[in-house]
Structure formats: structure tokens, C-alpha cells
Amino acid sequence: MTTASPLLSVRDLSIVYETAEPVHAVQDVSFDLGRGELLGLAGESGSGKTTLAYGINRLLRPPAVIRSGTTILHGDDEHPDVDVNAMTDAELSDYRWDRVSMVFQGAMNALNPVLSIGTQMADVLSRHRPSMSRRERRDRCAELLELTGVGADRLRSYPHELSGGMRQRVTIAMALSLRPQLMIMDEPTTALDVLVQRDILHEIAELRQRFGFSIVFITHDLPLLLEISDRIAVMLQGRIVELSTAADLYRAPQSEYTQRLLQSFPSLTGAERLIDRGPRVAADASRAAEGGAA
């Protein structure tokens, strides 16, 4: 994965929660995200992963303040470059969903219980693509539900009629609906059981391949990140202490913290060391162990 023509460039970004005792949640963070790249963000609870993700999507609320640094989302033939921290409110509403979308851990529980899945999905389209006809919107929603494995026949279903995994797929379908260049996923499958999680990750991998968007994927689950990421950034106390390919991070971790983090997952350091045979092999082997799901 090359970052020669990056999609996103973050430089010296610092974010502080201005509470009585200021919290320096993100400190001098710099990285590039390649086009089509999946960057995993790892690190213990409180290391600043979510704050960084919110910073990239300009979702921060007081007392959070961006103290310094820049975040540039680079354009392509259709889109201009965007200086994320300098956007006006009007520009922001085009940026979110259209250029960058986000899937949260609890997103599946944030769906409106009294509106059908189709209505909620169509709402995103009518706000951002007002020229679309009703029929076009419905067709697009049906296509998105097919793509994410929910099935177009669920358009009229209400959230309570779907399992947690299905609801999370709906939120992924919504995040995909405007074909963003970047999807930020913050613990998107943590609340789901392992088999459902694997299915959804498999689906996300296929969608990324098909549409070419980049992903920033946040999770505590380092073994999972080693399987799915092109590169992994490890955060500690607001700083990126290591950023390298998944294979290098596993085989030759540079920072002492990464070494300790790896050691805290017995499945990575145990007798079998599946990951030694490469991330894909480890993924296939653990799938086989779970009965061939995904």
C-alpha cells in the first residue's frame, strides 16, 4: 500500500479537553492514509483513538479543542482538497457522509425505532442528493441492503425486527450510501458475537475492494487488526508511538509499548503462532477453527 498520493494527511494534530485539569488526548499526531488503505488504530483505553477519529470527522464538541495541527482530505477528479479544521458549517455538511462517514460501536442502537430501515436510509439520500427521485432513492437503498448482506426485502422492516448484526450492517449500508472516500469505523463489531463479527468484516473487506474507499478502523482487538489492516498505528497517551505494516508490527515491533501490547494477547504469542504464517493464514485458520464462517 503506497501513501505516495495519500487520501488524508494529518500533521502535528493536538486536541485538548479543556476541563479543570486539561486532558491532552491527542498530541502532535502526524500520519498519511493511503487511497484504499485500511489503517488500524490500536492502543489501550483512553489513549486517544476516538478523539483522533472525531477530530478527523470534525465531530468534536466542547470541552474538546483542536490546539494545533492540520488535517487535509485530498481530492480527486470529482472533489477538491479539504482543510478539515477550516471548514464552514455548510462545507461540513457536505463533508460528512459524502466524503467521510463514520460507523460507531453503538450505531445499531441509534437507529430510530419508529421508522423503517428504508425510510431512515432514504433520509440520508434526500438530504444529500435532493435531485434524486423517490424511486431512485428506493432503488439505491435496496442495492445497499443487498451489498451489505441485509437483503432488499428488509427495506420495510423496523430496527427491532432485525438482529444486532443486521442492524449494524444497516448502519454500514448508510455509511456507504454516498460513496465516501473514507470510512471511520470505531469498534464497529465489538458488541457482536465472533461469527457475526467475522461475517461483517469479510463484507467490509469486499466492499473496500469493490469501491476503493479507505478505512480507519479502531479497536482494542490487536489480533483482529493484524489480520485486516494494511498498516497499524499504535497510540499511547495521545501519541502515535509506532506506525508500520501489520506484518512488521507483529514481527519486529519497534516500541517497548507495542511489544507489551502484543504480549498481552496470548493468541498471538502462544504455541501455534499462526500469525507467523502471515495475516491471511491466521485469518483462514481461525475461521476454520470456528467452523468455516465468513
Ligand X SMILES: Nc1ncnc2c1ncn2[C@@H]1O[C@H](COP(=O)(O)OP(=O)(O)OP(=O)(O)O)[C@@H](O)[C@H]1O
Q: Binding residues for ligand X, per CB under 6 A?
A: 17, 19, 23, 25, 43, 45-51, 63
CA atoms within 13 A on the CB side of 161: 11
Is the distance from CB of 290 to CB of 197 less than 8 angstroms? Answer: no
Distance of closest approach, residue 63 Cβ to ligand X, in angstroms: 6
Distance of closest approach, residue 131 Cβ to ligand X, in angstroms: 38
Where are any strands of DSSP class E within 124-279? 182-186, 214-218, 231-236, 239-245
- Cell numbers for 224, please give them: 483482529
52, amino acid identity = L
Q: Considering beta carbons, is residue 59 or 247 the nearer one to ligand X? A: 59
Strands 82-83 and 239-245: unpaired
Q: Considering beta carbons, is residue 49 or 154 the nearer one to ligand X? A: 49
Residue entry with cell 508511538: 241
Distance of closest approach, residue 71 Cβ to ligand X, in angstroms: 16
User: For residue 173, what are the CA distances in angstroms to 80, 117, 153, 178?
Assistant: 25, 10, 14, 10
Q: Considering beta carbons, is residue 15 or 176 the nearer one to ligand X? A: 15
Nearest to 48 by CA among 25, 21, 15: 25
Q: How far apart are CA 238 and CA 24, in angstroms?
A: 7
Q: Considering beta carbons, is residue 85 or 120 the nearer one to ligand X? A: 85
The DSSP letter of residue 218 is E
Distance of closest approach, residue 47 Cβ to ligand X, in angstroms: 4
Q: Considering beta carbons, is residue 174 or 184 the nearer one to ligand X? A: 184
Distance of closest approach, residue 122 Cβ to ligand X, in angstroms: 32
- Cell numbers for 136, please give them: 431512485
Distance of closest approach, residue 256 Cβ to ligand X, in angstroms: 19
Q: Considering beta carbons, is residue 17 or 211 the nearer one to ligand X? A: 17
